[in-house]
Structure 1
């Protein structure tokens, strides 16, 4: 039997291929036409901008200050009536420095006394230190020649009328060295020396140069100490009462009453006493009155303010009196 030849797949006819391509092209063209010819979607038209009418500017209004709500006033405490000011009193204890015992006893009173110390007394420096430690004012009790010299002798370190100016200053400077912490000077005796303004002048100028005051113990009714110190522009003052010129308790009490009365009349007063048993006893017993009836102070607080050199003493300041003058001292 003769072999049959394998048949090969026949290629698709050309007509079918062309038809397929043609149909695809028509479809493509149709789709493109649809897309091209369709109108674009309309977007909403933008709204026209409405321009706001410009109104006339409003008139400027000033800012009103903020008014804080008033708070109710706080209650005012009742005003106490002003207490009448107490008169000032200074008490100077002269002749200090011989012993520490009276210095301790007086310091223990707790009163602002002023210690005036003799330059060559055995315990002068120790008493000055004690007073400084207790807050008490210290003075140099400066020996000056009395009318009864040499029968009445003020002791070592005395200023004598026959000394030259250089010698007076030499003695004064040595006396000042021996009393540390001194804030001022008063005279010990001096009833003759204090009558001489020419001798007082270099002494007072030396004190002024050191910032020290001068208090006139007023041992003579004719003393020139206060007037000379005023004329040279020093802080100064003078003694009003001697507490123990008469050494009796009755006399001391009388002078204490007089001291307080003078202070009330003048506004201030200065007393001088001594470290004697009766005087210290009186001070101990009078301490309550000194604390309540007057204002007891150191002597610095009762001095006159310095006036320009050469200026006259102002009216209203009490002139020295002759009461209580130590005759011959």
Structure 2
């Protein structure tokens, strides 16, 4: 009715104004955003499926390779910068210019397991990742006798040469005549190489007669071991071995396992041996099950003995067969008597050190083990100061091992 009245009141010749229609899209803004995100996801999935990248998802290591200059060119070159001097020093350590021997980096594909050897120059410097068998072995350490090294599948490993053995050549200096007449004590600090700070504390704060044992892990165990030898410490290499509660308690990559074949464990042994040089012997790192299994230990001890190394058992496994096997092969052997910091408090460490003295007086030789805890380093350092005045001589581990064998 209202609409009709409006029409009647409108002047003739004039139309009623029409309402403007709004432009409406067939979809909402949220729908458009959802479609756009969908297209992005489809594009990403297509790239991931059809892009053939053989290294996709695999760790990548970059190796800087420096070409060595001919001797004549080096003489004509100006004075080297600090960086160039460091590189030249490493080339001298390798010593390959004289022998012409090539260095190689073995790269292992993480998916297929295939190996690929990359030849590098004598002065090549490689990166290193803790516990990764695909990374290159460290450069040969200074002060290491080249005659006691041979090229293994993962790098340079120790070997006996003629009448020379690493156990004798890398043993720390000691007064053997005095040690034969007095009760002696040796201490091995283990687990080094992973934490640079605690390793440095052990190297610098403890006297050279303390033996330091390095695990094969860490950013650069070879460099730390070299520093230890520069401070006149004797060095041992710790091999990660299977404990009874493995894999809940895992010593780390390349652990020697009772479930592996002898060849598989030997392959892992060669990797461990190549992580550094200049050590007098090997020691177990954990490994209560492995060190108590004769079939597993036999090939490891036989190979280590053939290479002129000594063997140290930290004494943590009462079922260990290491001493029996080492004795049958006339291999230098030692066994820990007490874990000094099993309870890491000052009072308990002091009590353990007192017990170590008693064992030395009773048997003539006592060997203690400890880690590089601040409390351990502090209490051992204090205890050592008055040790000789109490009639006991502190000696390197190799000296105690030799005295144990002769007594």
TM-score (norm 1): 0.65
| Residue in structure 1 matching 2:181, options 85, 99, 123 | 85
Residue 97 of structure 1 aligns with which residue? 193
In 2, the alpha carbon distance for the partners of 1:296 and 1:104 equals 21
Matches within 5 A, 1:153-168: 153-168=250-265
| Residue in structure 2 matching 1:132, options 218, 225, 229 | 229
Query: Which deviates the most, 176-185 or 143-152?
Result: 176-185
Residue 20 of structure 1 aligns with which residue? none
In 2, the alpha carbon distance for the partners of 1:214 and 1:171 equals 17
* Deviation (angstroms), 1:298: 1.0
1:273 aligns with 2:370: yes
1:85/1:120 CA distance change after superposition, 3 Å: same
Tell me if the contact between 1:236 and 1:305 (Cα under 8 Å) persists in the aligned partners.
no
Bigger RCO of structures 1 and 2 (CA < 8 A, at least 6 apart): 1
The RMSD of aligned alpha carbons is 2.2
Residue 121 of structure 1 aligns with which residue? 218
The residue matched to 1:98 in structure 2 has which SS?
coil
Tell me if the contact between 1:235 and 1:306 (Cα under 8 Å) persists in the aligned partners.
no
Residue 295 of structure 1 aligns with which residue? 393
Unmatched segments (≥5 aa) in structure 2: 1-177
* Deviation (angstroms), 1:249: 1.3
In 2, the alpha carbon distance for the partners of 1:281 and 1:83 equals 25
Query: Which deviates the most, 123-132 or 101-110?
Result: 101-110
Residue 144 of structure 1 aligns with which residue? 241
Tell me if the contact between 2:208 and 2:231 (Cα under 8 Å) persists in the aligned partners.
no
Query: Which deviates the most, 144-153 or 117-126?
Result: 117-126
Tell me if the contact between 2:208 and 2:234 (Cα under 8 Å) persists in the aligned partners.
no
* Matched pairs, number: 228
If you compute each CA radius of gyration, which structure gives the higher value, 1 or 2?
A: 1
1:84/1:224 CA distance change after superposition, 3 Å: closer
Tell me if the contact between 1:89 and 1:270 (Cα under 8 Å) persists in the aligned partners.
yes
| Residue in structure 1 matching 2:316, options 219, 222, 228 | 219
* Deviation (angstroms), 1:253: 0.7
1:148/1:138 CA distance change after superposition, 3 Å: same
In 2, the alpha carbon distance for the partners of 1:299 and 1:160 equals 27
CA deviation profile, 1:70-129 (whole Å, cap 9, x unmatched) = xxxxxxxxxxxx999331111000100013333332333334111110002223112210
CA deviation profile, 1:256-281 (whole Å, cap 9, x unmatched) = 00011111111111100000111011
The residue matched to 2:255 in structure 1 has which SS?
coil
Matches within 5 A, 1:1-329: 85-108=181-204, 109-293=206-390, 294-304=392-402
In 1, the alpha carbon distance for the partners of 2:290 and 2:179 equals 44
The residue matched to 2:188 in structure 1 has which SS?
strand
1:201/1:184 CA distance change after superposition, 3 Å: same
Residue 113 of structure 2 aligns with which residue? none
In 2, the alpha carbon distance for the partners of 1:83 and 1:232 equals 25
Tell me if the contact between 1:235 and 1:305 (Cα under 8 Å) persists in the aligned partners.
no
Residue 320 of structure 1 aligns with which residue? none
In 2, the alpha carbon distance for the partners of 1:130 and 1:84 equals 30
CA deviation profile, 1:4-56 (whole Å, cap 9, x unmatched) = xxxxxxxxxxxxxxxxxxxxxxxxxxxxxxxxxxxxxxxxxxxxxxxxxxxxx
* Deviation (angstroms), 1:225: 1.1
Is the helix fraction higher in 1 or 2?
2
The residue matched to 2:285 in structure 1 has which SS?
strand
TM-score (norm 2): 0.53
The residue matched to 1:186 in structure 2 has which SS?
strand
1:83/1:253 CA distance change after superposition, 3 Å: closer
In 1, the alpha carbon distance for the partners of 2:403 and 2:393 equals 19
